[in-house]
Structure 1
Amino acid sequence: MSPPVAPARAVATSTCTAEVLDEGALVLRWSPTGSAPALFAHPYVPVRAGTPPHAGIPVCWPWFGPGRDGGMSPAHGFARSATWSFLGEEREGDATVLQHRLTSDDATDPAWPHAYRLDLAARCGATLDVTLTTTNTGEQAFVVEEALHAYLAVGDVRRVSLAGLDGAAFHDKVADEDRTQEGDLVLTGETDRVYRSTADVVLTDPVLGRRLVVSTEGAADRVVWNPWSQKGPGIPDVGDQWRRFVCVEAANVLDDVVTVAPGETRSMTYRLTVEDL
């Protein structure tokens, strides 16, 4: 028997529709009123409980990928597959804010035995704002990698361009080399890059006739990822839909890890805005 479809908490206001899962505190969908969905989720593969999807805005914490030194499992940490506590929702003008929390009493790992509290606030309105807050509730400092791994929906990834990264240094994980971006980024194959940049990223999508503007607070890096035809078909909830998204993430990874002292709180915000061309 296959696992059940993961339930979602729905938002429907005059400014947007959205869905957020308790599992992973995953913002699965967000669509401003009058606009096509801004976040990617495979149209035919349901999001199953216990299976973190390649969709929406997964939370990567307390490590990114296999970790800085490799070998960490599960990939991107345990927060994205844990069930978070739903704290409730509140209205802020025309927006709805959904609040989730995860603590070290709920989920941890032998390789990362620290006391913590994570809070995720998803403010769903004409603009989407997702804030991840880490609090050290223990007596020793700890170091985390973190990312809000946003899957942005596009008409065709081969036709989009990303502005805002010109001149930024980046590590190309596909080629395993350090480089500097020259001009706008146009994807032509498998892409997995970590940019050291705090600039806004503007994705121009001529197929859907819009721009997606990504801005952040508290994030030193931008990650851009698409598995392309080499790897996309081998991912069950991506398949031939690899053309329909590009990940543009807010992150603190590699040399930009975050040290959180006892009692300290650190936050990172991902803001997504849709504009017509």
Structure 2
Amino acid sequence: MAEHPLAALFRFSSRQVFRWDRHQGRDLLLIEHPLCQAVFSRQGGQLLHFQPRGQRPWLWCAAHWHNLGAIRGGVPICWPWFGRHPNESGWPHHGWARLNDWRLVSKESDRHGVYLVWRLELCDWRVELHARLGAELDLQLVTQHSDSEACQLSHALHAYWAVSDVSRVSLGGLEGARGQDLLLRQPCQQDGELRVAEGCHRVFRQAGALHLQDLAWQRRLRIDTGAGPNCVVWHPGGRPLGDVSWREALGFLSVQVAGCGADSLTLEPGAEARLSLRARLE
């Protein structure tokens, strides 16, 4: 198995739980805790790497990043819209959050792990990422809206889960779920476990616990999408993916929690919206 592209940042041990570094033009927060290693990017408030001690990495990240634009991998935050903007064709895919620098509001460490809060404020919007990392992964995305008028919101935690080979893993928990197949442009209903053969892009109207089974790695991850209205499963298959080679892309399956499409929200002034994504080893 190829080494994780961010592993070299941890070759020199440090007694500091939190320390900043610079890599491929981005400011990164490195976390070394007795229970886990992790990396966040200031750009996007994005968790790029998470690895409990003694285990393989849970998240995939591309080895090479564009000088400008979003970083592919980890858990990008799609906000305040998911996919293309409904009205402005020139605005960035998946919103502004992935492209802006976030502020680290707080960071704490104890014997159970680390707890961080990242914040981004744009106009009358505030969004925070609350992260608890230790033996498990727990992310909460909280949006607050203080405009004088109602506004539309669609959002997602667009996780890239590391796998041995995407063609050899299975995703359970969506049996019978209905949704939309965006590749075939037609409704779909999941029959049995989901396996990716030649690409997948499906938005299911279902949330809850999923099970990512990787027999080659003898690993089964429980991925809990909480009460989020949508679960999105995506992999490009053999289609080109920017600077990511076909072989490199075999190493992930994107399983996301989202509120999008017909399940987008209309936030009234003073309202709040939440998404949660949790994972643990089974």
- Asked whether the two chains share a fold, i.e. TM above 0.5, the reply is yes
| Displacement after TM superposition at 1:201 (Å) | 1.0
Q: Using the alignment, how far apart are the partners of 2:134 and 2:68 within structure 1?
A: 28
Q: Using the alignment, how far apart are the partners of 1:183 and 1:70 within structure 2?
A: 38
Q: Does 1:51 align with 2:58?
A: no
Contact kept, 8 Å, 2:208 with 2:226, in 1: the verdict is no
Q: Which residue in the other structure is 2:270 paired with?
A: 263
Q: Which residue in the other structure is 1:99 paired with?
A: 117
Contact kept, 8 Å, 1:53 with 1:237, in 2: the verdict is no
**What's the CA shift string for 1:98-126, capped at 9, x where partnerless?**
21111115xxxxxxxxx110111111111
Q: Does 1:14 align with 2:21?
A: no
Equivalent of residue 202 in structure 1, options 203, 206, 211: 211
Residue 7 of structure 1: SS of its match in structure 2?
strand
Contact kept, 8 Å, 2:60 with 2:73, in 1: the verdict is yes
Q: Which runs of 5+ in 2 are unaligned?
A: 1-22
Contact kept, 8 Å, 1:13 with 1:94, in 2: the verdict is no
| Displacement after TM superposition at 1:134 (Å) | 0.3
Contact kept, 8 Å, 1:66 with 1:72, in 2: the verdict is no
Equivalent residues, number: 260
1:143-222 equivalence runs, <5 A: 143-222=152-231
Q: Using the alignment, how far apart are the partners of 1:121 and 1:254 within structure 2?
A: 25
Contact kept, 8 Å, 2:58 with 2:162, in 1: the verdict is yes
Contact kept, 8 Å, 2:49 with 2:57, in 1: the verdict is yes
Q: Matched residues, percent identical?
A: 31
Equivalent of residue 99 in structure 2, options 67, 81, 84: 81
RMSD (Å), alpha carbons: 1.8
Contact kept, 8 Å, 1:103 with 1:118, in 2: the verdict is yes
**What's the CA shift string for 1:155-186, capped at 9, x where partnerless?**
00000001000010010000000011111111
Contact kept, 8 Å, 1:163 with 1:203, in 2: the verdict is yes
Q: Does 1:248 align with 2:268?
A: no
Residue 52 of structure 1: SS of its match in structure 2?
coil
Equivalent of residue 131 in structure 2, options 106, 122, 131: 122
**What's the CA shift string for 1:68-123, capped at 9, x where partnerless?**
56836211011111111111201354110121111115xxxxxxxxx110111111
Q: Using the alignment, how far apart are the partners of 1:72 and 1:272 within structure 2?
A: 35
Q: Which residue in the other structure is 1:109 paired with?
A: none
Go from structure 1 to structure 2 and tell me whether the alpha carbon gap of 1:35 and 1:4 turns closer, same or farther (over 3 Å shift): closer
* Larger deviation, residues 196-205 vs 152-161: 196-205
1:226-241 equivalence runs, <5 A: 226-232=235-241, 235-241=242-248
Please give the TM-score of this superposition, normalised by the length of structure 2.
0.87
Q: Using the alignment, how far apart are the partners of 2:157 and 2:56 within structure 1?
A: 21
Q: Does 1:131 align with 2:151?
A: no
**What's the CA shift string for 1:9-35, capped at 9, x where partnerless?**
111112111011110000000001111
Q: Which runs of 5+ in 1 are unaligned?
A: 106-114
Q: What is the letter of the counterpart of residue 19 of structure 1?
A: V
**What's the CA shift string for 1:119-169, capped at 9, x where partnerless?**
111111111111110001221111111000000000000000010000100
Please give the TM-score of this superposition, normalised by the length of structure 1.
0.89
Q: Using the alignment, how far apart are the partners of 2:164 and 2:83 within structure 1?
A: 27
